[in-house]
Chains A and B, each alone.
Chain A
Amino acid sequence: MSILEVKDLRKRFGNNEVLKGIDLTLEKGEVLAVIGSSGGGKTTFLRCLNFLEKADSGEIVVNGNTVYRAVSGKEPEILPSAQLSFGLVFQQFNLFPQYSVKENLMLAPRLRAKRKDSAVPYKEALELIGKRADELLATVGLTEKADAYPCQLSGGQQQRVAIARALMLSPDILCFDEPTSALDPELTGEVLRVIRSLKNSERTMIIVTHEMEFARNVADKVIFISEGMIEEQGTPEEVFGSPKSEKTRAFLRSDS
């Protein structure tokens, strides 16, 4: 069973039809790179997957469960658990400034553990959460920054914290929206290396990026989105090496 199936996802803002029917399947452990020119709808697509925008119509199926279903003109149905199926790393990091790095990681799991319906006693849960935070900080190479505040970190370090924070709740699919485009060029490398290191058979990732080299090296699958539609998809070799569509070719030419 595929970990993610997106069926005919559509979204419009007023008269502007931004997503014109996106269909996609992704297997567990796959990395999908999403490329496309500015305004094509890449961000909107990720935001719909993370329910920051509600798609007007279409279906999102995770592990065989339909977590989101919308029919044009009706209120969409969202499973309560849907949100945690996805994680999102923002272009602008969006760390919580008043919390230290480790507190940023722990905040959401901690608040969830505090809720009445939580199965584990709070104290026990807290210990596990702290351990997991330490592990993830090590993964992104920021163990020694655990007690620093976001304003004391470089952009690249902030983005690595944001990645660790998104991983705390073990989402089925982790999404990145241009994770390095707010960074100085010399800082993009450290973030891309961390993302690459996350790749394993358990983690499924969707990465919107303008870093073509990175997409080519890390992705198992690439889609090119243009004007709200998937214009081309395939393996990196197929899309970058021998693109079928004229639009893709033009885009790749202009980008390199």
Chain B
Amino acid sequence: MALFLEVCSQLAGGFVTAFLLFLLTLIFSLPLGLLMSFCTMSKFAPLRVLFKIIVWVLRGTPLMLQIFAIFYLPGLLKWFVWPTMNTGWVWFDTTFTTRFIAALVAFVINYAAYFSEIFRGGIQSISQGQYEAGQVLGLTRREVFFKIVLLQVIKRIIPPMSNEIITLIKDTSLANTIGVLELIWEAKDFMVLDGLIWPLFIAGAFYLIFVGVLTIAFNKIEKKLDYFKA
């Protein structure tokens, strides 16, 4: 029993890290994704093409690779440019915070790319008539977007969004590849150090419960927006 509690408390620590990574990723990648979706829909061709390529690369390569790239590449580049003034090849030093930040940056960029495509699909599915009705009533493009279009977009993208967000929860486990002490790392610790397998299943239960909570939350939001058809 004592062991069980110890495992749980250690895993809870890992869960907090994973949760933080999850939350911060959402907070930064949702607005960034919206911005990126505007860029991929821009009338200015160079900007549009540039961002289409960026989205292609971010969605077309493994997230794990991107985590490595963010963690190691800046250091490597620095080493190439100023080999003399560098002490090591890891730019993000080895403290926990910088590892966490490297993982966070990778997650934010990667998920912003996915979200931007969801936003783009949602925005482009809104009928032109909504924009025109707003314009004819003397509203600015900004007002039309934020006061008329956005909520309709949100209603339409909730299903794909909830999918992507649930994937994000489980993807936080990838951060353990650069030594972020999240859930899986902690569970693996018990396996490696104490020869215990079952903490991994407890870790699984943590994910499961969290996903359950989010699923309920998304259903609530969906219900809340049920009052109109769009």
Interface positions of A (Cβ within 8 A of B):
50-52, 83-84, 86-88, 90, 92, 94-98, 107-108, 111-112, 149-151, 165-166, 168-169
Contact = CB atoms under 8 A, between A and B. Distances in A.
Contacts of A94: 127, 129-130, 132-133
Given A94-B130, A98-B151, A111 B229 contact: no
Contacts of A51: 135
Contacts of A112: 138
Interface string B120-141: 0000000101101111111100
A98 B151 CA distance: 8
Given A84-B138, A107-B147, A108-B138, A97 B132 contact: no
Contact of A111 (B133, B147, B151, B228): B147
B136 A86 contact: yes
Contacts of A96: 130, 133, 148
B150 to A, nearest CB: 10
30 contacts: A52-B136, A83-B135, A83-B136, A83-B138, A87-B136, A88-B132, A90-B129, A92-B127, A92-B129, A94-B127, A94-B129, A94-B130, A94-B132, A94-B133, A96-B148, A97-B228, A97-B229, A97-B230, A98-B151, A107-B137, A107-B147, A107-B148, A108-B138, A111-B139, A111-B143, A111-B147, A166-B137, A168-B137, A169-B137, A169-B138
Instruction: Name, among A107, A111, A112, the residue most crowded by chain B CB atoms within 10 Å (CB to CB).
Output: A111
Interface of B: 127, 129-130, 132-139, 143, 147-148, 151-152, 155, 227-230
A149 B227 contact: yes
B136 A88 contact: yes
Instruction: Name, among B132, B133, B136, B155, the residue most crowded by chain A CB atoms within 10 Å (CB to CB).
Output: B136
Instruction: Name, among B137, B152, B155, B228, the residue most crowded by chain A CB atoms within 10 Å (CB to CB).
Output: B137
A151 B229 contact: yes
Contacts of B130: 94, 96
Contacts of B152: 97-98
B136 A50 contact: yes
Contacts of B148: 96, 107
Given A86-B136, A90-B132, A108-B137, 7 more contacts: A52-B132, A98-B155, A107-B147, A111-B139, A111-B147, A150-B228, A151-B229
Nearest to B154: A98
A149 B132 contact: no
A108 B151 contact: no
A98 B143 contact: no
Contact of B228 (A84, A87, A151): A151
A98 B228 contact: yes
Nearest to B146: A111
A141 B127 CA distance: 28
A251 B136 CA distance: 31
A160 to B, nearest CB: 15
A41 B136 CA distance: 19
A169 B135 CA distance: 13
A224 to B, nearest CB: 25
Contacts of B138: 83-84, 108, 112, 169
A147 to B, nearest CB: 11
B228 A90 contact: no
A92 B135 CA distance: 16
A246 to B, nearest CB: 36
Given A52-B132, A111-B139, A169-B137, A149 B147 contact: no
Shortest 5 CB-CB distances between A and B: which pairs? Answer: A108-B137, A94-B133, A94-B129, A151-B229, A97-B228
Contacts of B137: 107-108, 165-166, 168-169
A87 B133 CA distance: 10
A97 B129 CA distance: 12
A149 B229 CA distance: 9
Contacts of A87: 136
Instruction: Name, among A84, A92, A96, A165, the residue most crowded by chain B CB atoms within 10 Å (CB to CB).
Output: A96
